């Protein structure tokens, strides 16, 4: 009986256990552990809401536009609220920022403040909600810079504008056939699956490694006529298959939810691209709460992430909602596309 219980305990590592181990080894402190657990709890709540689909009043547009000029969906707003309410009272954050809010959200005065900054895209791929395709939540954690007198910074936009390499944690949830939670605290990339019976995240994808080579690309080909020559060249060569310069056939996938596309890349390799083009001259994805966290986790899994020229994590941000070109995934393919840009 005792041995049986031990085996069971050894088999299943929950997110909480995983984080506590890292706290004990000094990789993260108690505040960061609580922060990640709180984000994960909010993701479970969003997952439950997404799963209700058309049975709850969550489908359709909210009747407003976000700071990017995109139609906000009802579930975008609800997910944003869930993340704000879960995180603002814990005492570990100095401020929060979200795709759905033009300016940073300060911690309400009745709550204590802490040393971290949390950024998130509450519901990535939200154009897929009403058609039952995977969506997700992306988050990034930074340290709040200290003022000259040692006190914590004011929660202004400038405090958030740190390069991606300064992230202390990042991850994302995918609300798909299963709800998964991918995480890095800077010691590898790890994936958890939501056990709906115990409502806990269980470590199912430890130490994820992205193969350096791949024969699968993800890009929205409807933008092809607007691409820059290096991207056009790379995709043309992939499409030429065995008869072309690459000497092998490539497959294509495009979910149009970055979370699902990146989870596939983490799971079996591949290259994901949303390059700049004649319409999206700075790219389409957001640096602070899409490209940076995904770049961090992909690098931690042995992959690479660039904007075609520069490593994503080395870009100096100039705005909370700035867009960026993204090329990420299997290292050798990302390096090839980046070489074509040079
Ligand atoms: O963040 C926006 C997003 O929905 C990503 O999740 C996704 O990769 C991309 O936009 C899809 O863009 P498009 O609609 O051009 O395919």
Give the CATH number of the domain where residue 275 resides: 3.40.190.80
Pair (39, 108) in one structural domain: yes
Q: How many CB atoms lie within 10 A of CB 127?
A: 13
Pair (199, 221) in one structural domain: no
Q: Looking at the predicted structure, is the pLDDT value of residue 5 above 60?
A: no
Closest C-alpha residue for ligand 1 atom 15:
220
112 within domain boundaries:
yes
For residue 10, name the pLDDT band (cuts at 50, 70, 90): low
Q: Looking at the predicted structure, is the pLDDT value of residue 102 above 90?
A: yes
Of the residues 125, 263, 279, 293, which should be mutated to test ligand 1's pocket, given the most ligand atoms within 8 Å of the CB?
125
What is the DSSP secondary structure assignment for residue 93, as one 8-state letter? E
Question: pLDDT tens-digit profile of 252-297?
Answer: 999 999 999 999 999 999 999 999 999 999 999 999 999 999 999 9
Q: How far is the CA of 21 from the centre of ligand 1 (A)?
A: 36
Q: What is the per-residue pLDDT for 2?
A: 46
Q: How far is the CA of 125 from the centre of ligand 1 (A)?
A: 6
Where does residue 283 fall: left (phi above 0), alpha (psi -120 to 50 degrees), or beta otherwise?
A: left
**Domain count within the chain:** 2
Q: How far is the CA of 95 from the centre of ligand 1 (A)?
A: 27
Residue that terminates a domain, selected from 183, 205, 227: 205
Pair (220, 85) in one structural domain: no
Answer yes or no: is the C-beta of 285 below 6 A from any ligand 1 atom: yes
Can you state the angle between helices 30-52 and 74-87, rounded to 10 degrees? Answer: 150
Pair (335, 232) in one structural domain: yes
Q: How far is the CA of 284 from the centre of ligand 1 (A)?
A: 8
Atom of ligand 1 nearest to the CA of 128: 4
Pair (238, 288) in one structural domain: yes
Report residue 231: phi and psi, to 5°. Answer: -70, -40
Pair (24, 68) in one structural domain: yes
Q: How far is the CA of 247 from the centre of ligand 1 (A)?
A: 30
Pair (18, 55) in one structural domain: yes
144 within domain boundaries:
yes
Answer yes or no: is the C-beta of 212 below 6 A from any ligand 1 atom: no
260 within domain boundaries:
yes
Mean per-residue pLDDT over the chain, rounded: 93
36 within domain boundaries:
yes
Of the residues 124, 254, 327, which should be mutated to test ligand 1's pocket, given the most ligand atoms within 8 Å of the CB?
124
Pair (232, 141) in one structural domain: no
Atom of ligand 1 nearest to the CA of 286: 1
Closest C-alpha residue for ligand 1 atom 14:
256
Report residue 15: phi and psi, to 5°. Answer: -60, -40
Residue that terminates a domain, selected from 205, 238, 260: 205
- Give the Cα separation of 49 and 105 in Å (integer): 23
- Give the Cα separation of 127 and 44 in Å (integer): 20
Query: Which whole-number Å values give the CA distances from 174 to 114, 235, 259, 268, in the listed order?
Result: 28, 27, 6, 16
Question: pLDDT tens-digit profile of 302-317?
Answer: 999 999 999 999 999 9
Atom of ligand 1 nearest to the CA of 290: 1
CB 303 within 8 Å of CB 331: yes
Residue with more model confidence, 202 or 59: 202
168 within domain boundaries:
yes
Question: pLDDT tens-digit profile of 147-200?
Answer: 777 777 777 899 999 999 999 999 999 999 999 999 999 999 999 999 999 999
Question: pLDDT tens-digit profile of 326-341?
Answer: 999 999 999 999 999 9
Question: How many degrees, rounded to 5, is the angle at CA 332 between CA 326 and CA 338?
Answer: 45
CB 195 within 8 Å of CB 229: no
Pair (193, 232) in one structural domain: no
Answer yes or no: is the C-beta of 88 below 6 A from any ligand 1 atom: no
Of the residues 123, 127, 280, which should be mutated to test ligand 1's pocket, given the most ligand atoms within 8 Å of the CB?
127
Pair (44, 161) in one structural domain: yes
Pair (14, 152) in one structural domain: yes
Does the pTM of the predicted model rise above 0.85? Answer: yes
DSSP 3-state assignment of 102?
Answer: coil
Answer yes or no: is the C-beta of 256 below 6 A from any ligand 1 atom: yes
Share of the chain above pLDDT 70, in %: 97
Residue that terminates a domain, selected from 172, 205, 238: 205
Alpha-carbon dihedral of residues 114, 115, 120, 122, nearest 10 degrees? -10
Question: pLDDT tens-digit profile of 214-248?
Answer: 999 999 999 999 999 999 999 999 999 999 999 99
- Give the Cα separation of 214 and 250 in Å (integer): 8
Pair (198, 307) in one structural domain: no
- Give the Cα separation of 12 and 5 in Å (integer): 11
154 within domain boundaries:
yes
Q: Which helix (H) or strand (E) covers residue 142, if one does?
A: strand 135-143
- Give the Cα separation of 208 and 211 in Å (integer): 10
Query: Which whole-number Å values give the CA distances from 237 to 17, 199, 312, 336, in the listed order?
Result: 46, 45, 24, 11
Domain that holds residue 76: 2-205
Answer yes or no: is the C-beta of 277 below 6 A from any ligand 1 atom: no
210 within domain boundaries:
no
For residue 3, name the pLDDT band (cuts at 50, 70, 90): very low
Give the CATH number of the domain where residue 128 resides: 3.30.540.10
Distance from chain centroid for Cα 327: 14
DSSP 3-state assignment of 332?
Answer: helix
211 within domain boundaries:
no
């Amino acid at each position: 009986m005792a041995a049986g219980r031990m085996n069971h305990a050894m088999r299943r590592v929950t997110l909480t256990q995983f984080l506590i181990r890292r706290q004990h080894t000094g990789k993260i402190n108690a505040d960061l552990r609580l922060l990640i657990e709180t984000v994960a709890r909010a993701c479970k709540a969003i997952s439950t809401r997404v799963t209700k689909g058309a049975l709850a009043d969550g489908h359709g547009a909210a009747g407003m536009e976000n700071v990017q000029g995109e139609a906000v969906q009802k579930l975008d707003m609800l997910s944003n609220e869930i993340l704000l309410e879960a995180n603002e009272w814990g005492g570990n954050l100095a401020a929060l920022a979200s795709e759905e809010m033009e300016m940073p959200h300060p911690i309400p005065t009745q709550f204590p403040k802490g040393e971290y900054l949390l950024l998130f895209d509450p519901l990535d791929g939200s154009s897929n909600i009403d058609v039952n395709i995977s969506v997700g939540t992306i988050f990034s954690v930074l340290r709040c810079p200290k003022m000259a007198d040692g006190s914590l910074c004011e929660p202004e936009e400038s405090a958030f504008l740190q390069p991606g390499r300064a992230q202390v944690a990042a991850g994302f949830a995918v609300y798909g056939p299963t709800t998964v939670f991918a995480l890095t605290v800077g010691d590898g990339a790890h994936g958890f699956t939501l056990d709906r019976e115990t409502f806990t995240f269980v470590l199912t994808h430890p130490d994820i490694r992205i193969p350096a080579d791949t024969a699968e690309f993800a890009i929205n080909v409807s933008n092809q006529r607007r691409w820059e020559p290096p991207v056009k060249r790379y995709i043309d060569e992939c499409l030429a298959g065995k008869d072309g310069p690459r000497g092998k056939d490539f497959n294509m996938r495009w979910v149009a939810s970055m979370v699902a596309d990146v989870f596939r890349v983490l799971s079996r390799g591949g290259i994901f691209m949303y390059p700049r083009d004649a319409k999206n001259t700075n790219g389409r994805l957001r640096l602070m709460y899409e490209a940076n966290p995904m770049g961090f986790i992909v690098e931690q899994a042995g992959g690479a992430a660039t904007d075609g020229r520069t490593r994503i994590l080395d870009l100096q941000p100039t705005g909370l909602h700035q867009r960026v070109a993204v090329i990420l995934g299997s290292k050798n393919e990302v390096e090839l596309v980046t070489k074509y840009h040079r």
